[in-house]
Structure 1
Amino acid sequence: MWLNILELMSMLKALAGICFLHLTTIVLLFIAVIDDAWWFTNSLYSDIWGRWVMEHNDEVWVYTDLPSSYRRDYLGAVQAFAVLACMFLVFSLFAFIYQVFMLEKGERFTITGVLQLIACFCLMVALSVYTDHFHRGETDGWYGYSYILAWLAWLLALLTGVLYIILKKKME
């Protein structure tokens, strides 16, 4: 009896921890995709949606479109895969909630783990294309915190995806 209660408590702790990691991943990725801090220089900062340039004697940040030197097909790929990653992370959270309460013990976490890994793949594609095709020859700038948060979200999505698969194997 006590062994079953302890087993249940440890499983609840594991589920709570994974749920926390999952929510953290979603929040980090949403901040990374929405915020405007992917690339910085002393006079501009940009993200995957636009850029802001310092004008009027360093007093005003002015929004401008991304330069025409950015290939639109690569930019569209980065934007699309980043948004897809966000969507798959949210879908996997709903799948997690559904699976915990509705599915049989051996069927849990498969869909959630697969959706997490798909989100991880989408985010990896977006970040890889951005890294390879944008700001390549620019030496006076640096990657911003949103870019770093996106890579951290990728790592957490990979970790939680693998943990969901491990939990599925453990539940069988």
Structure 2
Amino acid sequence: MLLLLLAIIILHLAALVLLFISTIVSAWTVNGTSSSDLWSNCSTVSGYHCISAYAGEWIQAVQALMILSIIFSFLSLFLFFCQLFTLQKGGRFFLTGIFQILASLFVMSGAIIYTVKSPEWVSGSFGFAYILAWVAFPLALISGLIYVILRKRE
């Protein structure tokens, strides 16, 4: 049982770390000498210069969804530890699972909006932070589903 709890916590932390990295790192879109993320556009043409990201509604929606996914994933981890010590024997971790599934849906929605709208804004290919966001989506979803199925034992 202890090994199962450790595996679930590691899966959850992996999803949370991927969400943090994908939200913070400046590599959602890369193009030879420049890179773009949710917050800024950076260029290395004549030194390393960054300017604020495009202020359109869609990028603000992606920013908000990625931040919400981090918040809900963190709250889900906190709720898991709270429920681990207070939940009745045989109880399920529904609230924890719902928060984690919501986090996965938020990151999926943000990545979909970025996928659809970014070709209008920037040229280049998608960077590793964008890919990490898509990897975090199934990890968070699987983690949330495990929480919903999981029962507390002694």
Structure 2 length-normalised TM: 0.92
- 3-state SS in 1 of match to 2:35: strand
Residue 148 (structure 1) aligns with: 131
Match of 1:128 among 87, 112, 126: 112
Do the aligned partners of 1:38 and 1:45 also contact (CA within 8 Å) in 2? Answer: yes
Structure 1 length-normalised TM: 0.83
Unaligned runs of 5+ in 1: 1-10
What's the CA shift for 1:150? 0.8
Once the two structures are overlaid, the 10-residue window that deviates more, 86-95 or 99-108, is: 99-108
Distance in 2 (CA, whole Å) between partners of 1:106 and 1:132 is 44
| CA RMSD in angstroms, aligned pairs only | 1.7
Distance in 1 (CA, whole Å) between partners of 2:4 and 2:40 is 40
Do the aligned partners of 2:92 and 2:149 also contact (CA within 8 Å) in 1? Answer: no
Structure 1 residues 87 and 137 mapped into 2: Cα distance closer, same or farther (>3 Å)? closer
- 3-state SS in 2 of match to 1:105: coil
Whether 1:63 and 2:63 are equivalent positions in the alignment is no
Q: Which has the larger radius of gyration?
A: 1
Do the aligned partners of 1:25 and 1:157 also contact (CA within 8 Å) in 2? Answer: yes
Match of 1:101 among 85, 88, 92: 85
Which residues of 2 match residues 74-93 of structure 1 at below 5 A?
74-93=58-77
Once the two structures are overlaid, the 10-residue window that deviates more, 103-112 or 37-46, is: 103-112
Whether 1:115 and 2:99 are equivalent positions in the alignment is yes
Q: Percent identity?
A: 38
Do the aligned partners of 1:18 and 1:160 also contact (CA within 8 Å) in 2? Answer: yes
- Per-residue CA deviations over 1:107-143 (Å, capped at 9, x if unaligned) read 34111100000101111110110000112586x6211
> What is the aligned length?
153
Do the aligned partners of 2:42 and 2:51 also contact (CA within 8 Å) in 1? Answer: yes
Do the aligned partners of 1:100 and 1:108 also contact (CA within 8 Å) in 2? Answer: no
What's the CA shift for 1:53? 1.2
- 3-state SS in 1 of match to 2:67: helix
Unaligned runs of 5+ in 2: none
- 3-state SS in 2 of match to 1:77: helix
The AA in structure 1 aligned to 2:124 is: G
Match of 1:20 among 10, 23, 38: 10
The AA in structure 1 aligned to 2:137 is: W
Which residues of 2 match residues 1-12 of structure 1 at below 5 A?
11-12=1-2
